[in-house]
Amino acid sequence: MLYTTIILSILEVLIVTIPVLLSVAFVTVAERKTMASMQRRLGPNIIGYYGLLQAFADALKLLLKEYVSPTQANIILFFL
């Protein structure tokens, strides 16, 4: 009984979260395409069909980013 309520709660959260994230990705691509057409460029067109996977590629790049800092630097101040 307890497990079913937890699973249903997780599913409800996913049902709300996934469309929101997908819509943000679509709006990001639409904004990039609009800005590119204003500047007479192609915009994001390499990743996926018409650049639809560009937002996901950017998110993956951000998650896999390696943080490099000088050894003598104060880390808190360096990353500010």
pLDDT in tens, 9-44: 999 999 999 999 889 888 988 888 888 888 888 777
Angle at 49 between CA 32 and CA 52, to 5 degrees: 40
Q: How many domains does the chain have?
A: 1
Give 65's DSSP letter.
P
52 Cβ contact partners less than 8 Å away, ≥ 6 residues apart: 25, 26, 29
Report pLDDT for 14.
95
The answer to pTM > 0.75 is no
Residue with tokens 């057409």: 37
The domain of 35 spans 2-79
